Amino acid sequence: MDALLIIGGLVLVLAGLVWLVMRAFATSLLWGWGSLIPPITLFYIMRHWARARSAVALVGLGVIPLVVGMTLLASKDAERLAAIIRLDWLRPEVQAPAELAIELGGELNGQPFRPQQGELIDGVLVLREGLDFFALRELSIRLPQPIDGPVRVDVLPQDSGDLPEVELSWLLPEQDLPEARRLSRG
């Protein structure tokens, strides 16, 4: 209910402002362009009150449900109202990296490898350990064909043909950039 009052009030206020600008353009081109600047809009309202009165009344009618809706929202959820007024809804949400729902473990370059992130995008499976820009250890598998269901990769050293390409990278403590190795056969 409060959201409908707020939205309805905003629609009435915007409709009144558009109507006011249209009335200003009907008065003269200079008043029309000038009414797009808020201080000049006030001068137009004072100078041409007879013409602007109905549009100002519509803006006033829009302010009433807007204030009532915001009051209702403040009584229910003050933090939500504060977030709306701060325009938090315009900022994109920061998504925390997804943790894997399965326990994977192994060894990479003599160090234990426990991936914290995993993603499958366009046939490339990436398992990462570490949340920095360069992962501590990373395993990328480029699959030869697109996958629709669950992913299962079994490659033995004697296998040949269309095999997935595996890329390993790791970052040692004394290095700024990670080392990488690419494996193209089993």
The pLDDT tens digits of the residues spanning 59-89 come to 999 999 999 999 999 999 899 889 888 988 7
- Range of 141's domain? 106-183
What 3-state class would DSSP assign to 121? strand
One-letter amino acid for residue 63 of the chain: V
pLDDT computed for residue 60 by the predictor: 96
Greater confidence (134 vs 9) lies with 9
pLDDT average, residue stretch 113-118: 82
Q: Examine the domain organization and report whether 155 and 83 are in the same domain.
A: no
pLDDT computed for residue 99 by the predictor: 57
Q: Examine the domain organization and report whether 130 and 164 are in the same domain.
A: yes
Asked which of 90, 122, 146 is the last residue of a domain, the reply is: 90
Distance CA 20, CA 41 (A): 9
Burial 100-133 (b: 16+ CB within 10 A, else e): eeeeeeeebeeeebebbbbeeeeeebbbbbbeee
Q: Examine the domain organization and report whether 113 and 83 are in the same domain.
A: no
pLDDT computed for residue 37 by the predictor: 93
pLDDT computed for residue 102 by the predictor: 65
Q: Examine the domain organization and report whether 25 and 79 are in the same domain.
A: yes
Q: Examine the domain organization and report whether 110 and 142 are in the same domain.
A: yes
Phi, psi of 174 (to 5 degrees): -90, 5
Cβ pair 29, 42 in contact under 8 A: no
Q: Examine the domain organization and report whether 114 and 146 are in the same domain.
A: yes
* Segment 15-29, tens digit of pLDDT: 999 999 999 999 999
pLDDT computed for residue 162 by the predictor: 77
Q: Is residue 100 part of a domain?
A: no
Q: Examine the domain organization and report whether 119 and 151 are in the same domain.
A: yes
One-letter amino acid for residue 145 of the chain: Q
Q: Is residue 164 part of a domain?
A: yes
pLDDT computed for residue 30 by the predictor: 95
Asked which of 22, 56, 90 is the last residue of a domain, the reply is: 90
pLDDT computed for residue 3 by the predictor: 87
Q: Is residue 27 part of a domain?
A: yes
Q: Is residue 101 part of a domain?
A: no
Residue 53 predicted with pLDDT over 80: yes
Q: Examine the domain organization and report whether 149 and 75 are in the same domain.
A: no
Q: In this structure, which long-range contacts are made by residues 155-159, counting pairs with CB atoms below 8 Å and at least 24 apart in sequence?
A: 155/186, 156/186, 157/186, 158/186, 159/185, 159/186
What 3-state class would DSSP assign to 183? strand
Distance CA 100, CA 127 (A): 9
Asked which of 90, 118, 135 is the last residue of a domain, the reply is: 90
- Confidence band for 35, pLDDT divided at 50, 70 and 90: very high
- Confidence band for 32, pLDDT divided at 50, 70 and 90: very high
Q: How many domains does the chain have?
A: 2
pLDDT computed for residue 58 by the predictor: 97
Q: Examine the domain organization and report whether 121 and 175 are in the same domain.
A: yes
Angle between helices 38-47 and 49-76 (to 10 degrees): 130
Q: Examine the domain organization and report whether 38 and 77 are in the same domain.
A: yes
One-letter amino acid for residue 141 of the chain: I
Q: Examine the domain organization and report whether 69 and 110 are in the same domain.
A: no
Q: Examine the domain organization and report whether 49 and 7 are in the same domain.
A: yes
